[in-house]
Structure 1
Amino acid sequence: MTPQSNEYMLSPIGSIRSALAELADAPRQGVEGAPDAWLELDPRYSDGLQGLANGDEIIVVTWFHRADRGKLLVHPRADHEQPLKGVFATRAPHRPNPLGLHRVTVREMRGHRLLIGPIEAIDGTPVLDIKIAIATDDQA
């Protein structure tokens, strides 16, 4: 048996192209006024889009590349009136492994590009994965 490493390597499969250029421009959640944006998939992964269609809901997993990975305590929603909480009890982007989970709708498909939204990720945000969203009883 070989020892397992405690470190893992992730490679982006694409990136977000958005009108949101700065962190301050982005709403906290996509449903809070975020625009649609283009997800530009590396052409090597284009075959992975087979079966997706306009109108599909997907989960886009991103890496918040500008996040502070050393933060463990935050004021929820950056509201200093609220008491500090641990990042694992919030949806704060600043955390040890700054993964973003975005439930979005596919608006348009053009080759290896998807117009998706609404999404609060800023321009240049790396995309790690795409998964089809599953309906739940709450959304049925």
Structure 2
Amino acid sequence: MRPDHYKLMYEFVKWAGGHSHITGIALVGPCADDESEEDSNLSFLLVTDKKQKTVDAILYQFQYEAIEQATKEEYVLLTSLKIEYASGIEADFGVADTDWLHRPLEQGLGDLLVQGFKVIWEQEEMFDDILKAIARYAVELENGAL
């Protein structure tokens, strides 16, 4: 992982830990691999019981750097924020409720999560089901079942 990614991750997790409505944080995709120096975005998955409040807090309260550009996309159980900071670092923040963790993995999402999924912080062992689903998906992918 790039040094600027470590800095953003540290600052974000420190900030998020002070919000009781955020119950878990994971890294997803290539950035979840500590050995990867790939030039990919830093991608977070946040689990919360107050999705809109968490999205607003990331946009207006998390003081990492000035935001140059932010885009928001709504999916059924997940809100995606893509933020480019003043230094050029880009981060993706997927904000979901616990129901998202128990849904079946579609191919695009499964492919991303197989590239990397690392639990950074959680209040309870809430990521267990998705970790099992990722492992099953990886086996099916390896066996050509997908």
Q: Report the TM-score range of the alignment, normalised by the length of the smaller protein.
A: under 0.3
More helix by share: 2
TM-score, length of structure 1 as denominator length: 0.25
TM-score normalized with structure 2 length: 0.25
Greater relative contact order (CA < 8 Å, ≥ 6 in sequence): 1
